Each structure stands twice: as C-alpha cells, then as structure tokens.
Amino acid sequence: MPILVNRETKVVVQGITGREGSFQTRRCIEYGTKVVAGVTPGRGGEEMDGVPVFDTVRQAVASTGADCSLIFVPAAAAADAILEAAYAEVPLIVCITEGIPVVDMVRVKRYLRGSGIRLIGPNCPGVITPGQCRVGIMPGDVFSPGPVGVISRSGTLVYEAVAQLTSRGIGQSTCVGVGGDPVIGTAPVEVLRLFNEDPDTKAVVLIGEIGGTAEQEAAAYMASEMTKPVIAFIAGATAPPGRRMGHAGAIIVGEAATAQAKKEALARAGAVIVDSPADIGAATERVLRERGLL
C-alpha cells in the first residue's frame, strides 16, 4: 500500500487560479489525481477547468471532503496558507512554495506540533504515488508503480533517481520530496519510518544533502529499527563550507553537516552508500537482486 497519498486522496489546491497553481492543477488532474476544490480568496463561486473555487479552505473542505491541500501561494502569504489548511483540519498539507521566511516556518512548526497534521515541504516537489496520485510538480511520466520508496531533500534528484529506476524496470511505491529549507514540516526520518511500516515497500532510496543533521537522525532510526535495505546518496560533497548551495538548508556549519559525516553515519547504520547520482539505479538493482527482492 502507498504512503501519504493514493487514488482516493481528495485534493484542494490553494492558489488554484494563479499561473503555477492552474498549470500544475491541470497536470495533477491529467495524472488521475482527484482535485476536488480550489481556493482563492475573493473568487469563490468560480470554476477552474470544472474544479469549484472557494474563498476559504474551511468552505472547500466542508463542501467536498478534501483531505489533502496542495499550496501554490507566494512566499509572503504561504505560511498563512499552511495555517489556514491546518485550521480547517486538513490532515495532509503539501507546500511547494520556496522562499518562505524561516521565522514564518518556525511559527508554523510550533502550531502543528502535536496536532496530527502532516506538512510536506515547503520548497519541495511534493508527493507522488505512481499510477495513483500526484500532489506537486513532479513529472509523472518518469514514475512507475513498484516496491521502492524514495525520499529526497532535493527535487531534481528525485526525478533523476526515479528515471534510472524506471529504466531498469524498478517501480516506486511512493516518492516524497521533503524540501530543502532549514525548517520543514516532515523530516526524512519520519518518511523512512512510514516506508518501514509499509508492507509493499521493499527498499528505500534516500537522497540527502549537506547541511543540518537530518541524515544522522535517519541513520539513528535505521540502526535501531529499520528492517529494509536503504540506498543512500548525499549531494554536495564538493561544496565549500559556509556557502549556500541552492537550498537554504544546504549550508555546512560544523563537521556534522558535511557530506562525509553524513555518509559515515548512514554507512554505520547499514545503508549502501552511492557516491555518484548516476549510480543510484544500478546500486538499487544490485541490492534488490542480492536480497531476492527483484
């Protein structure tokens, strides 16, 4: 069974009438996602390609039963959009927006703590369960259904890894882009736990990057509880310390944030380490064959 989203997920798109929101909503619908509502304040009562538009998330949820929000709202208002979805008790919120001020996300994290509401992102490509549901901006044509879960702090590396897997006939159970900002809603270790508990996921590809200690947290979980093989790649091995490298979270501060420290922690926990993104597919196939999973 997939994690987070499936063919029954009902999506409300916040910012549906904007350029990016409307474009990606159409792609989600084409993929088969149940987009049941959109939200743009002041435009309630309109439609976007047959999808009803509401003024508030609460109205959209009450009318359609939406259980997942997909957010395409400019950075200055994105934190409030997340909180509006949380106030409406939407259980899964996926925020694509990049550039949200860190102080805003600290406020969001504080509110969500202990609520039971899960936030994916911000600054992420979203979540996709191949063949069932696309909630985000991922190019659906490179994904295929199968037994490998994918977790990534990098958006583009999700597509690269998945394209390699699909070309080798290895499908994916669910792929989750958690986001590259310093403060995100769901850490890689939390998604790793979901995959570990999913009976249909047989192995996990974990794509990390320099900055923070998310990979060490994942390694600690792997060492104590993970029962499935993990293939890991850490991006940013050649990045100079202290320099921002695309993602706000990809800044090396202290030894723990370096690529080498992350690789060593994951290797000690039993992960198969891949040194080049070009080798993710081959390494995954090898691990699956060695364990009789392919």
Nearest Cα neighbor of 39 from 2, 87, 3, 4 is 87
The 3-state DSSP composition of the chain as helix, strand, coil percent (nearest 5) reads 35, 25, 40
Rounded Cα distance, 226 and 178, in Å:
19
Nearest Cα neighbor of 5 from 202, 156, 143 is 143
Rounded Cα distance, 38 and 119, in Å:
18
Residue with tokens 């509110």: 111
Nearest Cα neighbor of 141 from 110, 162, 111 is 162
Catalogue the active-site residues.
Answer: 247
